Structure 1
Amino acid sequence: MPPDNRDERRPGLARAPGGHTPGEAAQRLFDIYPGSRPASIARVLTETLQAGARAGGGSLVLYTGSGLYVYDRSSRALIAGIGTRTMRGNGNYELTAVSHIGPAIAYLATMRAAGGDEWRRLAEALMTRIDDFRGVNAASDWLGDADAPALAGRTGAVRDMIDYACRLSTAYLAARLAGDGSDFTPDDARARYFTAGMDGYPIGFDNVMVATFALAVLQDAHAIASGLRAAAADGRFDWSDTRIVVFQLVGNNYGAGLTARTNWGIDLLMRLGGADLDPGRIFVAPYIDRRDDVGADPLPEAAFTYYDQAWQGIRDRLDASNAAFADIRAIEPSAPPAIPGDWGATDADDIEAFVRRLKYTFGTSDQLLSNATGFWVAGALEAAGWDPTRVRLPGFDTGFPPGIRGYPPTRSGAPDG
């Protein structure tokens, strides 16, 4: 068993392997400053500024992996509670399930090429589940029953897209299962499934993946925009003095979305707030606790104080540091260049650009997967006056091969091929 180097006088304080422990005078000097210590300078400053801010107004916004919640400062009442794509009642779960078919087939092709012997069983299981959902999609108005206002008027087109995606996927898998599997390779999947090539299936699954991402992001962006714009319009919410804390763990993507450039949701907030929102009022706090009562109305005082003090503590440190170094010339980082998939840099019909962005988001640890279309959709929705019906979505409304204007109507029966 390794030696226990903790100092029993200061729980959590480690002793050096040689046995040295900071003396009491050093410990007392250390303890008087950090905000983590009771009655410290930083803690008292935070409490002082927080008390003034509580009296002066300014809502608290908590942007989590499951939604965005706006709380009134004086009453802690929930001004707006907006569920996002992880909520199962808005149709995004079904759209995401369809988008997963593409990576699943890519993984199966890689598995077969690597000599794995489970690929055939798993491919058959995938086909069964695809067929089951295709039947549900054709027989029910599942999207019409969902809470999906951003997709109003698009339910028939979504049904057609899903039917086509399912038929394409089962036709491709059936063809590969019919032989010994030697032709089921990543290169073959790219050529004959993702970018098209099979007889009767001119639209590749790349279009479907881009479309499902765009549809899901449009849902979230519209929900957030509608909720915040309504709250601001009736005076319940003011962008100029709001405090925004972002902690968006989604799945196991632990290192993603921690900056404005890696989180399209922050870009959306900046577009909504416009000149009234100081970017310095948005703080990403990945290590903050995700309390179970986030979303409650009202937010319990302990939880409100915890998140409010977290925001204030970050702001105090920045303000104090900038004041202390006021005579030092600041470093102004240059704006990052636009990349494929950004609004203003990519046309809606450029599916290849969005697929490149999709690869980038999947292959880069700091990116939210929804960034594949998120920055583009946020910009497009703003340009459309926040009206989702005016947004032409890549892979769904446009971006098809020459001569094709959309997905074919839903069919009954087994897939062709």
Structure 2
Amino acid sequence: MPYSENAEFIRLFQAYTGSATSIGAHFGQTAGRAAAGDPLIVATGFDIALYPGGGAPPTIEGYRLSNRGFKETAAISHLGPALATLAWLREHGPDGVWRADAQELLDATRATREANSVALWRDEIAAPSFVGRAESIAAMVDYACRLTERFLERSLADESYLTAERLRADYLEGPAEGLPVPFNRVMVATFFLTGMDLGHRLISWFDGLDLPWERAMVVIAGRQGRPTAGVTLDSNSVAGVILAASRGRLPSERLLIAPHAPVFPMHDGGNTEAVQALEHDYRRLWSSMTAMSALGEPMFAGYPRFKPEARNLTELTPDTRSVHQMPAVSGPTDWLALTTRLRVVLEDPRQLLSGAVTDYASAQLVQNANRPEAVTVPGLDGEPYPALQAENPAVHAGAPPPD
């Protein structure tokens, strides 16, 4: 027989929750009023807003669209997975599909190498955190493109060459002749540069706000990266930067990740009305979620209480066979940990692909007074990249190395 909800039970259900006049709603509203004067930070996939409290208008910082060089460095980062995908397609895909894709990748890589120059990174992209490294970055990009072209050309000439084994030996890891820098290091370097730029700008912004971090309310709202990514504290790179910017003063339990929370429209530097309109909703969300924990002690005194686990990254050894989170990085030459992080972001759907080393980059910035020039970029600084090769010296600074 058809089911019909019982009216009396529904009334009881709604007495605590499910309506704007319920006990739960009054609970959230009361908790929200108590925190109305506390600073509220809301990060979406593109912007971060600070609501100072007391009805003051928000201050907004765009961090994705203003991330200069993000797509350029990501284009180089993607070359490794692109070649691995081609090898998989050659073995498992429809006949010949890999070949057309390989040719397109080869043509795009050649065009990128031609467009690459010191001037591009120094004068056009001109990311503040890249200052002083334009020649090194241009040389790394030139090397990465030439290495990729060589691998693709050989694969197109002899498709039996396009295997995972050859990819690891001749391109990603080595040892192989003509591989002074394994491409794994290029991927770490490009991810680190992206993370360092994001961290540098956000840390600078937060430092200028002089926040009472101990009272700050933080919400990471909406989707971050791919649909399954960034839903935990350890996998959300923006959350990691915010915690780093607080210099340990922000209690981790005051930072909520809310993938289903409303997201204010992308801010373009114009009016803040659309951002300000959601302040009440964000404050009510944060307050009602965190206030719920206040019921734990009166209801369950004597039972173990919940305490967020401190972020304690696993330290790898040569015998480590698997990890359940990002491993700790002991320094810029800890290639076991750094390369393992590349694998983790591919295999763990919770991770942001570009966030492989963002937390490490942010921590290094904090340790060095937010001075990017004082930070060692693993995979870039000190690596033996050949000097930038160029057919047009007027466009590309640097002389080609001798044969």
Fold similarity call, TM over 0.5: yes
Structure 1 residue 144: Cα displacement: 2.8
Return the match for 1:338 from 282, 290, 314: 314
Q: How many Å separate the matches in 1 of 2:71 and 2:207?
A: 26
CA–CA distance in 2 between the matches of 1:53 and 1:333? 22
Find the residue that maps to 1:47 and give its secondary structure: helix
What does residue 160 of structure 2 align with? 182
Counterpart in 2 of 1:30? 13
Match of 1:21? 4
Kindly indicate whether residue 245 of structure 2 is the aligned counterpart of residue 272 of structure 1. yes
Aligned partners of 2:185, 2:169: CA distance in 1, in Å?
14
Calculate the TM-score normalised by the size of structure 1: 0.84
Q: Do the aligned partners of 1:68 and 1:83 also contact (CA within 8 Å) in 2?
A: yes
Aligned to 1:221: 199
1:351 aligns with 2:335: yes
Residues 287, 300 of structure 1: alpha-carbon distance in 2 compared, 3 angstrom cutoff: closer
Do the aligned residues in 2 keep the contact of 1:247 with 1:284 (CA within 8 Å)? yes
1:209 paired with 2:191, answer: no
SS in 1 for 2:167: helix
Q: Which residue of 2 aligns with 1:392?
A: 376
Q: Where in structure 2 are the equivalents of 1:289-308 lying within 5 Å?
A: 289-292=262-265, 297-308=272-283
The answer for the alignment partner of 2:233 in structure 1 is 260
Structure 1 pair 345–133 and aligned structure 2 pair: CA distance change class (3 A): closer
Deviation string, structure 1 residues 211-265 (Cα, Å, up to 9, x no partner): 1000000011111110001111xxxx321222100135234x2222222222243
C-alpha distance in structure 1 between counterparts of 2:291 and 2:29, whole Å: 10
Q: Which residue of 1 aligns with 2:45?
A: 65
The root-mean-square deviation of aligned C-alpha atoms, in Å, is 2.7
Task: State whether structure 2 residue 88 is matched by structure 1 residue 110.
Answer: yes
> Which residue of structure 2 lines up, in the alignment, with residue 3 of structure 1?
none
3-state SS of 1:407 partner:
coil
Tell me the CA shift for residue 173 of structure 1: 0.8
Alpha-carbon spacing, 1:333–1:302, altered in 2? closer, same or farther (3 Å): closer
Instruction: Identify unmatched segments of 5+ residues in structure 2.
Output: 317-324, 393-399
In the TM superposition, residue 192 of structure 1 has moved relative to its aligned partner by: 0.6
Tell me the residue number matched to 2:322: none
Q: CA deviation at 1:198?
A: 5.3
Over 3 Å counting, the alpha-carbon distance change for 1:61 and 1:294 in structure 2 is farther
Runs of 4+ in 1 over 3 A off after TM superposition: 196-201, 293-296, 298-302, 331-337, 339-345, 413-417
Residue by residue over 1:374-394, the C-alpha shift from the partner in whole angstroms, topping out at 9 and shown as x without a partner, is: 232222222212221111011
1:136 to 115, 123, 133: 115
| Equivalent residue pairs, number | 383
Counterpart check, 1:123 vs 2:123: no
User: Distance between the aligned counterparts of 1:301 and 1:264, measured in 2?
Assistant: 25
For the pair 1:50 / 2:23, whether they are aligned, the reply is: no
SS in 2 for 1:203: coil
> Identity of counterpart residues, as a percentage?
26
Distance change >3 Å, CA 81–CA 175, structure 1 → 2: same
Partner of 2:319: none
The answer on whether the counterparts of 1:263 and 1:368 sit within 8 Å (CA) in structure 2 is yes
Contact 2:202 2:245 in 1 (8 A): no
Q: Residue 386 of structure 1 aligns to a residue in which SS? A: coil
- Please tell me whether residue 288 in structure 1 is matched to residue 261 in structure 2: yes
Q: Does structure 2 conserve the Cα–Cα contact (< 8 Å) formed by 1:246 and 1:286?
A: yes
**Are 1:410 and 2:392 counterparts?**
no
CA offsets per residue over residues 31-70 of structure 1, 9 Å max, x none? Answer: 0112x4111111122222323432xx22221122223222
Which residue is 1:402 aligned to?
Answer: none
Conserved? CA contact 1:76–1:299, under 8 Å:
no
